[in-house]
Amino acid sequence: VLTGRVVEQGDVPVPDAVVTLGAGRGRGRGGGAPMPAPVTSDAQGRFRFEGVPAQVGWAQATAGDLLSDRVGVEPGDADLVLTVRPGGVLAGRVLHPDGRPATAFALQLVRLRRPDPPRTLSIVDPDGRWEARGLPSGMWELQALAADSGPSDRVRVELPASPGARVERDLRLRG
């Protein structure tokens, strides 16, 4: 069993936050038990995991655009506190080779040096604008894809660790 609370700064409870567990670095490879499914915090921000495998290494909470750091955990930890804060924002425009905005495109975001799954956003915007909110800090790789042009180059962007950080980057599709 692993229990805890999700709070905002000032110890304000965060209801309906999604709490995820992950295997620690170097643990859980080859034959480890699967991690429990994510759980949702209650009205007081409390959460509880049953049947936590030995290779658990971290917990993280998200609630809309808010997220916590990954906090180290051990099976049996009680009263773990996950403090959420505004996540970062990556934003920009996707442009055709001639500079016209792409009005329908997919944007792939991959967080490098972390085992997070890639994110793909489908976007329809007359000005080619895109925005991804609530992101953890770190190095991200971005690529835009559109049916009427070749894909953009893969572009690396560093999202700073400061709460609510915002980085703008335009992507140009190939002809």
pLDDT mean over 18-46:
80
59-94: pLDDT as tens digits = 999 998 898 988 999 877 889 999 999 889 999 999
Percent of the chain with pLDDT over 70: 95
Percent of the chain with pLDDT over 90: 67
* CA-to-CA dists, residue 13 to 42, 79, 163, angstroms: 9, 13, 18
118-133: pLDDT as tens digits = 889 999 999 999 999 8
| Per-residue pLDDT band at 24 (split at 50, 70, 90) | confident
| Per-residue pLDDT band at 27 (split at 50, 70, 90) | very low
Torsion sign across C-alpha atoms 6, 157, 118, 130 = positive
Closest CA to 153 of 103, 94, 111: 94
* CA-to-CA dists, residue 157 to 22, 106, 169, 173, angstroms: 25, 18, 8, 17
Higher pLDDT, 22 or 92: 92
* CA-to-CA dists, residue 153 to 32, 105, 107, angstroms: 37, 14, 12
pLDDT mean over 143-156:
95
What is the structure's pLDDT at 146? 94
What is the structure's pLDDT at 32? 65
Q: CA 103, CA 123: separation in Å to the nearest integer?
A: 8
Closest CA to 1 of 40, 44, 53, 46: 53
Which of 101-110, 123-132, 158-167 bottoms out in mean pLDDT, i.e. has the lowest? 158-167
Q: Tell me, what DSSP letter sits at residue 38? A: P
pLDDT at 31 over 50: no
Q: CA 59, CA 67: separation in Å to the nearest integer?
A: 11
